[in-house]
Structures are given as structure tokens and as C-alpha cells.
Amino acid sequence: MRRLGGGARHRGRMTLVLLLALGACDGGEKPGAAPTARTAVSGAAAPGTAPLLAIFGAAPAAPALGEGDRQQVQAAERRAFAVAAGQPVHWQNPRTGAFGEIVALGPAERRQGQLCRSFRHKVLVAGRSQEATGTACARAERAGGESSGANAGQQG
């Protein structure tokens, strides 16, 4: 994606807009509803966005994920799409200390020619812990690979 200025915060918003435009998953929520995220209340995050990154980009207090963090998250997201429900996929960036986990909340479902799956993502960046829940979709032939969209009706 071409950088338009405004730093990571602007990129997160642009990513969200593009992913919502591409996301064709219907999770039964109100179309066009904005994604939400919630801050985890625990003092220490459990060990342990691409679509899941977009969820955090929409949160008012979104942690600042650097490019290296984003690469780690994207790799973890691809792995999480292919593992059993409930099995955590951990990621960590040793350079920044950021880490998190992605957990598939159920099986992938075919929706409008795509495979969609709900996830919970916990992240700790710069001492800030945050958790978000959302749905990521991938074209059926790319299942287990990169996801291509985020459901517009995530719940936090």
C-alpha cells in the first residue's frame, strides 16, 4: 500500500477502510457497523492486523504496532487460520518486545465464496494490553494463507 502520510495511525485507518471494502463475510451483524476493541483488564497480558490489525487500528486506544510487529502478526494470522479452534498461535517481536496471541473461536465457514473465521487477538505493545474479537475471511482457494478481509461487525 502506498504511504499517504500521517504515520502508523493513518495507515491503520486506511487498512481498515480497504479491508472493510474487501470483506464480504456476513456474520449476521448490522452491515456497516464499526469494529470495536476492548482493553484487557489483567495487569499482565497473556503470552501471547491484515484484518486483525485493522481491528486494532479502529480502536481509540490502539497500541502502536511497528512494521516488524505487523509482519509478526500477519504470519501468526496465517497460521491461526489453519489451526484447530481454541489453539493459541503466539507471535513476538524480540526487537520491540511486542507480543500477542491469536485464537480461532470456531471452525472456518464458507460465506459468499470465502472461508471466514472468528478470532480473538490479544496484544501487548509498549506496556499496553488490548484485546479484540473479529472475523477474517480468505478466498476459498487461499484458505490457510493470507486473509483478505475483515467483517464489519466485530464485537469487543
DSSP string, 86-145: T-EEEEE-TTT--EEEEEE-S--EEETTEEEEEEEEEEEETTEEEEEEEEEEEEGGGTTS
For residue 57, is it within any domain? yes
**Residue span of the structural domain in which 49 resides:** 7-150
For residue 92, is it within any domain? yes
Average pLDDT of every residue of the chain: 63
For residue 21, is it within any domain? yes
Higher local confidence (pLDDT), 117 or 154: 117
For residue 156, is it within any domain? no
Total number of domains in the chain:
1
For residue 122, is it within any domain? yes
pLDDT digits (tens, 9 = 90+) for 50-101: 345 555 554 433 457 788 888 888 888 889 888 999 999 999 999 989 999 9
The C-alpha angle 53, 78, 26, rounded to 5 degrees, equals 65
For residue 75, is it within any domain? yes
Rounded to two decimals, what is the model's pTM? 0.56
Residue 117 pLDDT exceeds 50: yes
For residue 120, is it within any domain? yes
For residue 52, is it within any domain? yes
